[in-house]
């Protein structure tokens, strides 16, 4: 059931027991106790001010890098896509992209203003909030290489401007101030000599390369495992002979071994069991412990499911 908030100050939408499968790219996941869709940044600040300190808060963009367990999520999920949608060029020349803007839209926006170095964002199936949180990358580019500063909200709904040097940034990992969340990025890009149409050609070529190598269009989370040092997770999984391995209706992609696809009707438990099987087999046969890139969140339906 959806409840429209009628508070004089808050104008977003609050959903109860909202099934997360509708919001994740794997198309799996149980219900969130509460989901809030803010009307904008100021509205979100007011909403956070009214949350109890003990309330668990989970932020959701496109749901493309998470596995939500079948028992769902306790607490409040804040859905940023379509809510934190600001995208503009600031007076200092930086591109300001709010957390709910898709990475692909940022890439197109930058190309339309002849700004280069953001082309790789077209290959990231998520929002800027998620890209900031994990230093998402594609085609050799990484999100934080462009970041000059970020805007963050704390649990009390206060806005903070943080410089890049306030964060520890690594491959697919970012750590910074505790209990603060990304709501916007300020990106410093190059005004390129290349014409806009040439930047668009670069984006098109990158996307064509992605489509040849990845099972685009099928329910997945993108890459399941981080690439180990001096190697590629997909090569190790393929070398172990795991392409096509299934658990229920979740299967390792025949096209790209670091993708697990929902062939139809898979559960989150199917996917999680398959992740564990792949990890164990690669470690046993290749001597490499693969580290998950996907974030697994939420509750099991049954206590024995985590065995």
Q: Where are the beta strands (DSSP E) in 144-289?
A: 147-154, 159-163, 168-170, 173-175, 180-187, 190-191, 246-247, 250-252, 260-262
Stretch 141-148: mean pLDDT: 95
Res. 298 pLDDT band, cuts 50 70 90: very high
Q: How many CB atoms lie within 10 A of CB 235?
A: 14
Stretch 121-125: mean pLDDT: 90
Question: Is the residue at 64 inside a domain?
Answer: yes
**Mean pLDDT over the full length of the chain:** 91
Instruction: For 25-49, give one letter per residue: b (16+ CB within 10 A) or e.
Output: bbbbbbbbbbbbbbeebebbbbbbe
104 with 196, same domain? yes
Question: Is the residue at 12 inside a domain?
Answer: yes
Pairwise CA distance, residues 88 & 196, whole Å: 17
Q: How many domains does one find in the chain?
A: 3
Pairwise CA distance, residues 234 & 224, whole Å: 9
260 with 179, same domain? no
Pairwise CA distance, residues 6 & 4, whole Å: 6
60 with 134, same domain? no
- Condensed to tens digits (0 to 9), the pLDDT of residues 18-75 reads 999 999 999 999 999 999 999 999 999 999 998 888 899 999 999 999 999 999 999 9
Question: Is the residue at 306 inside a domain?
Answer: no
For the whole model, what pTM was predicted?
0.89
- Whether pLDDT at 278 is above 60: yes
Q: Which residues are catalytic?
A: 172, 223, 293
Q: Which of 79, 109, 139 is the last residue of a domain?
A: 79
- Whether pLDDT at 2 is above 60: no
**CATH number for 289:** 3.90.78.10
Res. 6 pLDDT band, cuts 50 70 90: very low
Question: Is the residue at 41 inside a domain?
Answer: yes
* Residue range(s) defining the domain that contains residue 20: 2-79
137 with 235, same domain? no
Question: Is the residue at 305 inside a domain?
Answer: no
Pairwise CA distance, residues 295 & 291, whole Å: 11
The half-sphere exposure of 254 on its side-chain side, counting CA atoms within 13 A, is 2
61 with 97, same domain? no
Give percent of the chain with pLDDT exceeding 70: 95
52 with 66, same domain? yes
Question: Is the residue at 147 inside a domain?
Answer: yes
């Amino acid at each position: 059931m959806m409840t429209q908030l009628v508070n004089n100050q808050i104008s977003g939408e609050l959903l109860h027991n909202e099934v997360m499968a509708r919001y994740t790219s794997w198309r799996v996941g149980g219900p969130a106790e509460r989901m809030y869709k803010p009307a904008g940044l100021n509205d979100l600040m007011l909403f956070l001010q009214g949350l109890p300190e003990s309330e668990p808060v989970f932020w959701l963009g496109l749901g493309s890098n998470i596995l939500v367990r079948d028992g769902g999520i306790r607490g409040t999920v804040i859905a940023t896509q379509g809510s934190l949608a600001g995208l503009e060029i600031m007076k200092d020349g930086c591109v300001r992209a709010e957390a709910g803007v898709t990475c692909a839209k940022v890439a197109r926006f930058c190309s339309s203003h002849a700004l280069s170095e953001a082309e790789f964002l077209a290959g990231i199936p998520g929002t800027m909030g998620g890209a900031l949180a994990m230093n998402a990358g594609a085609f050799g580019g990484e999100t934080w290489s462009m970041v000059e500063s970020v805007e963050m909200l704390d649990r009390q709904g206060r806005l903070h401007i943080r410089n890049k040097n306030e964060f520890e940034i690594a491959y697919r990992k970012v750590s910074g101030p505790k209990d603060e969340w990304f709501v916007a990025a300020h990106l410093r890009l190059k005004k390129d000599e290349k014409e806009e149409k040439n930047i668009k050609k670069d984006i098109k070529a990158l996307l064509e390369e992605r489509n040849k190598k990845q099972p685009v269009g099928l329910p997945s989370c993108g890459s399941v495992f981080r690439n180990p040092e001096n190697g590629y997770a997909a090569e190790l999984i393929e070398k172990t002979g795991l392409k096509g391995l299934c658990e229920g209706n979740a299967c390792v992609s025949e096209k790209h071994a670091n993708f697990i696809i929902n062939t139809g009707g898979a559960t989150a438990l199917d996917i999680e069991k398959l992740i564990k099987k792949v990890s164990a087999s690669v470690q046993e046969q290749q001597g490499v412990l693969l580290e998950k890139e996907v974030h697994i969140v939420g509750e099991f339906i049954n206590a024995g499911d985590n065995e």
